[in-house]
Amino acid sequence: MDATPALLIQDLLKSYPTPSGGRAEVLRLPRFQLEAGQQLALRGESGLGKTTLMHIIAGILEPDSGLVAVGGTQVTGLSEARRDRLRAERIGYVFQTFNLLQGLSALENVMLGLAFGKGAEPGTAMAALERVGLADRAHHLPRQLSTGQQQRVAVARALANRPCLILADEPTGNLDAARGRKIVELLRESAASLGSALLVASHDPEVLAAFDQVIDLAELNQVAPREEEV
Amino acid sequence: MRLKAPIVLLCVLVLTGGAWALIRSRISATALAGSAKDQPKPHQAVPPHHGTPVELGDEQFTIELVREPASGTLRAYVLDGEMEGFVRIAARQLNLEVETQGGRKLLALKPVADLATGETVGDTSLFEARADWLKAADRFKGVFRNLRIHDQDFPAVAFGFPEGNAKD
Amino acid sequence: MLFLLIRRGLRQHLVSTAVAVLLVALGMGLVVSVWVVRAEAEQSFTRSASGFDAVLGARGSKLQLVLNGLFHQEASPGNITAEDYLQVKALPMVDRAIPIVVGDNFRGVRLVGVSDDFFQNLEYAPDHVYTVEPGGRPFQVEQKEAVVGSLAAHQLGWSIGTTFHPFHGLDYNPDAQHSEIFTVVGLLAPTNTPADRVIWVPLEGVQKLGGHDPAAFTDLSAVLIRFKPGAKAAGLMLDTRYNRQGKRLTLAWPVASILGDLFAKFSWFEQALQALAYMVAVVAGASVFSSVYSSMSARKRDLAILRALGAHRGFLIAAVLGESAGIGLLGCALGFGLYAVIAATVQEILRTRIGVLFEPWAWNPVMVWGPLLMLGLSVGAGVLPAWRAYRLSVAEGLSPLS
């Protein structure tokens, strides 16, 4: 196994401005690490900062301070363009609501997962679709696919660039239990076959039950949960 | 991929700027063309046949002299002071005294009728005379004697040929 | 991937894209039409002067002389005499002098009386002479014969051997039929000039028709004049003689300048059309803005997904501007199609009504700056939506829809 951790977080701090003019801390993580090929579920209820943490790891958001490194490359401190590129090349992201582009076919959506990194290769994208069992639906539009199939396309997109880290934020949120189980199974098998680390954020017990290792965000985060302001 | 976006951005700047410049230049060109057409043309006092102008009085009239060496013909056109219009007169002849290298000569320029212009003898702006010595006389001094044009008399109008007698 | 996204983006909002494309096309078509039709119409009129340099006629408007003598429009300002014709024909600087007489018609198609030397190697354009189609012949002088222009023959359905009664006047009046009968003996080979629109008959054929004043049997409507090559000052000399020195006759010269004055009279109309074309172009730009802006607003989530997948901000800008440029390009292409339709209509009108050949695809700088203008406006209209895309918050854009 590669000794370089797939994910390393140290002294992470993230806060948001409040209406009153101050700042409210959302995340304070002293340390978190995911080894290469490790699969971990992150438990936490909605509104506790799971998505914020995922976005920081992916380089979509910047923390106030701290270190985040993916596959040995520091994400924090990079320019936005470099973070974009790192995300395109090293990270696969599965969103809660599929987030497929409605105007593109399944194959084209998967090619998006490659386009901003090494380049969109139809052959590689098709292989990713085959891995999730949807090669025969390559030219279907999302509206022509079932919800389960759409999420499988999203998974294929996340895997297409053979990332060292796969992030999945509530990947079964829009699926029924049966389909949800299948998606989690697919994620785990695909990550294992690629040797990618997998971090799934969810509050769904069925999802959490599929993992050998589950960690509570509340245990990692030193910021106490607070009431969501509506 | 990484080059396409900057190239597209550059094209945008060029195209948008170009479009704006084009609109402005077309509006300016149309306005300029309009204003150019409105400008009055500068006054040009050039004899209509590019001959020799002989001013009568204080630019009241002009006689334009045109010499045709091949035939030895001297034509005199009676014009207004600004050489814009032709002035028809009833004179029976125009008397011209000429000093040449060969001595003093007298020319009687006779009125010419022209179907094309509608001029007749007694109502014409064109007078002409023919003489062999005119074929070689490219420079001379002349004096028109006793001219009468539209009730105005010009007893003696001196000039040089081909330079005329313009004061300025 | 960029071009794929642009194509799909345009297709996704098909209705607003189509409207914007149509408006750009309209703007482009109008801009090109206004500029080209104006410039090329004037050029085609000048080209159609049928090889003559000047027209001599009765005292009056030079424009009227040109329109009557060369374009067979309008009435002549009066008559001139045969002596006038003979005098100008004898001038040393004159190469050809062709007398014409008008005043009769057949169902609105003008009869033009002309001398028979009209068919004797008379050029209407460089290396092109008036000829009669095979199977026919020029008319004989003092015979009631006619040679018909190609457009007139087509319009009337005439062929060699057709006979007809002329009608008196320039406008058709069924009660003014002459008793004389003419016979078509030849069809004029097409010239793409106003000569194709009229019926050519001998001079005397018109002069001596029943009911015409015998005293005017030798009068002419005009003389068409061509100067000898190299006679550069000829026009100026005759202009001075006829127009300034003379008071009886008018020499319409130079033809191109006189026609230019005709078009200049309508410059106000041209400017109004130009202003309209610019306004339509600006409206088209606004339509592109509206289409792209609403498209981007609706696809905020898509843009956030692209960013989340690693697209940098510049890519989003390029995608947005690419869509507006795509609308511009499609509109420009369609705009040329619209121009083609407008130009074809103008071409047909000028050909059948006046006999002038209008060339819609003759080079004009507007063929380049017109599309560039529309493209620039379209792309410029995408700047604000692109700015919004640039400033997009990815986290907000990815928030689950409630």
For range B30-54, the mean pLDDT: 67
The pLDDT of residue C111: 94
Inter-residue contact C5 to C318 (CB < 8 Å): no
C309 close to A (CB below 8 A): yes
State which H helix or E strand residue C103 sits in.
strand C94-106
Most B CBs within 10 Å, among C30, C245, C383, to test the B interface: C245
What are the pLDDT digits (tens) for A150-206? Answer: 989 999 999 988 999 999 988 887 778 888 888 899 899 999 999 999 999 988 888
Model confidence pLDDT, tens digit, residues C21-39: 999 999 999 989 988 988 8
pTM over 0.90: no
What is the predicted pLDDT for the residue at A230?
Answer: 40
**Mean pLDDT of the B121-128 span:** 96
Q: Kindly tell me if the per-residue pLDDT of B2 is higher than 70.
A: no
Band (pLDDT 50/70/90 cuts) for residue A228 is very low
CB A150 within 8 A of CB A183: no
Q: What percent of chain A has pLDDT over 90?
A: 41
- Mutation target to probe the C interface, by most C beta carbons within 10 A, among A75, A83, A116, A169 is A116
Locate the domains of chain C by residue range.
2-46+266-398, 54-253
Q: Does B30 touch chain C (CB under 8 A)?
A: yes
Domain count along chain A: 1
Q: Does residue A46 sit at the C interface (CB-CB below 8 Å)?
A: no
Q: What is the pLDDT of residue C393?
A: 84
Pairing of strands A73-74, B61-68: unpaired
State the residue range of the domain holding A105.
7-220
Find chain B residues with C-beta within 8 A of A119's C-beta.
1
C317 — contact with chain B (CB < 8 Å)?
yes
Cα–Cα distance, A19 to A31 (Å, whole number) = 30
Instruction: Report the pLDDT value the prediction gives residue B1, as an integer from 0 to 100.
Output: 42
pLDDT tens, residue by residue, A42-71: 998 877 788 899 999 999 999 999 999 998
pLDDT: which is higher, A158 or B3? A158
Q: So what's the pLDDT on residue C402?
A: 43
- The per-residue pLDDT for A118 is 78
- Domain annotation covers residue A134: yes
Distances, alpha carbon C253 to alpha carbons B58, C65, C238, in Å:
34, 10, 9
**Residue where the block lists tokens 């001075």:** C240
CATH topology of domain B52-161: Immunoglobulin-like (2.60.40)
| Most C-contacting residue of B8, B35, B82 (CB-CB within 10 A), to test interface | B8
In whole numbers, what is the pLDDT of chain B averaged over residues? 84
Query: Minimal Cα–Cα distance from C5 to chain A, Å?
Result: 8
Q: Which residue has the higher pLDDT, B43 or C141?
A: C141
Euclidean distance between CA atoms A60 and A53, whole angstroms: 10
Is residue B113 pLDDT above 50, yes or no?
Answer: yes
Per-residue pLDDT tens for A96-125?
Answer: 776 788 889 999 999 988 888 878 778 888
Residue numbers in chain C where pLDDT is lower than 70: 50, 210-211, 214-216, 232, 400-402
Structure tokens at B155: 């007893």
Say if A2 falls within a structural domain.
no
Interface predicted TM-score (ipTM)? 0.88
B1 contacts on A by Cβ (under 8 Å):
115-116, 119
Is the pLDDT score of B100 beyond 60?
Answer: yes
Nearest to A84 among C11, C305, C311 (CB): C311
* From C306, C313, C395, residue closest to A61, measured CB to CB: C395
Share of chain B above pLDDT 90, in %: 65
Question: In chain B, positions 61-80, which contact chain C (CB-CB < 8 Å)?
Answer: 77
Contacting C residues, span 376-395, partner chain A, CB-CB under 8 Å: 394-395
Q: Does A98 lie at the interface with C, CB-CB under 8 angstroms?
A: no
Q: Which chains touch C (3 or more CB pairs under 8 A)?
A: A, B
Residue A1 confidence (pLDDT)? 46
What CATH number does the domain containing A195 carry? 3.40.50.300
Tell me, what's the pLDDT at C249? 95
CB contact under 8 A, C400 and A111: no
According to DSSP, the residues that pair with C132 across neighbouring strands are C188
Of C137, C73, C113, C74, nearest to C208 (Cα)?
C113
Of B19, B84, B116, the CB nearest to C380: B19
- Residue B29: pLDDT band by 50, 70, 90 thresholds? low
